Amino acid sequence: MLNKVPEVTAWFWVIKVLATTVGETFADYLDGTLGLGLGGTSVLMTAVLVVVLVAQLRADRYRAPLYWLTVVLVSVVGTLLTDCLTDAAGVPLVVSTTVFAVALAATFAIWFAKERTLSIHAVTSLPRELFYWLAVLLTFALGTAAGDLLSEQVGLGYWPTALLVAVVIAAVAATRYGLGANAVACFWVAYVLTRPLGASLGDGFSQAHTDGGLGLGTTWTSVVFLGVILACVTYLTVTKRDQTPAESLSEPKVRH
């Protein structure tokens, strides 16, 4: 099996943030605008994710359209997971944030214990890919809970939360490229942080002016961001700029 994850380039982070934004707005669109309700939306999107994830797991290599469709669906389901705990079960955001953080840490610990690497450049077997997607799901759920905690309960608002998270991401990047911090650790920290960034941007664009948003609504916000994702993925599919070079397809010599 060849590596199942794209190279981490600027394109990766752009599409990741766009996908997290869609995860927030599309879940709200299905729940509120279409009237499916939280339960119906959760069942529908989980079923769709299972189908697409099976196709992703069966693929023998990274394929941009399939991979990023899976990411978008995981983003939606991760958002719904937090919403179900908060809105349906009444679990406080502080508790859900803590639980997801512990679950993610446990996933990383077991993953490393079994595979001796957390690098996304070494997702070359089914067990590693299963660990990878579980970690991704938990990062979305954790990022949603943490973002909602900051923007709603702490009262920072959508745009200040987005700005704060962006500053922290910039600090992580500076630590990585300026101080030579561990690449794998910085990647996963940034991966978690892009979730509240994207969610805050999604709410900022979609929510009403009275709530601090731009009032575009979940429909138009979802359509616009999905369109940009489609354009980016099409470009990468044609150019293959995010695919691992042929000479690097074997097991990495340096493990993290």
pLDDT score, position 195:
86
pLDDT at residue 249 tops 80 = no
Task: Compare 41 and 150 and report the one with higher pLDDT.
Answer: 41
Task: Compare 251 and 148 and report the one with higher pLDDT.
Answer: 148
Q: Would you call 59 exposed, middle or buried from its count of C-beta atoms within 10 A (0-12, 13-18, 19+)?
A: middle
Stated pTM of the model: 0.89
Both tokens of residue 82? 């937090």
pLDDT score, position 253:
43
Q: Would you call 176 exposed, middle or buried from its count of C-beta atoms within 10 A (0-12, 13-18, 19+)?
A: middle
Which single residue is written with the structure tokens 């840490």?
105
User: Taking residues 157-170, what's their average pLDDT?
Assistant: 90
Query: In one letter, which amino acid is 89?
Result: A
- CA distances to 2, 64, 67 from 15, in Å: 22, 11, 11
Least confident segment among 22-31, 151-160, 213-222, 245-254: 245-254
Both tokens of residue 213? 């948003």
pLDDT score, position 245:
61
Q: Round to the nearest angstrom and report the end-to-end CA distance of the chain.
A: 20
- Give every CB contact of residue 256 below 8 A, 6+ residues apart in sequence: 117, 118, 119, 182, 183, 184, 185
pLDDT per residue as tens digits for the range 58-112: 998 899 999 999 999 999 999 899 989 988 898 999 999 999 999 999 999 999 9
Pick the closest to residue 79 from 160, 166, 139 (CA basis).
139
Pairwise CA distance, residues 123 & 7, whole Å? 11
pLDDT score, position 174:
96
Contact call for residues 93 and 149 (beta carbons, < 8 A): yes
pLDDT per residue as tens digits for the range 166-223: 999 999 999 999 999 999 999 999 999 998 898 888 888 888 888 788 988 888 988 9
Both tokens of residue 233? 């993925």
Taking all residues of the chain, what is their mean pLDDT, rounded to a whole number?
88
Contact call for residues 226 and 237 (beta carbons, < 8 A): no
Neighbours of 60 (CB within 10 A): 8
Both tokens of residue 227? 């369109």
- Give every CB contact of residue 228 below 8 A, 6+ residues apart in sequence: 18
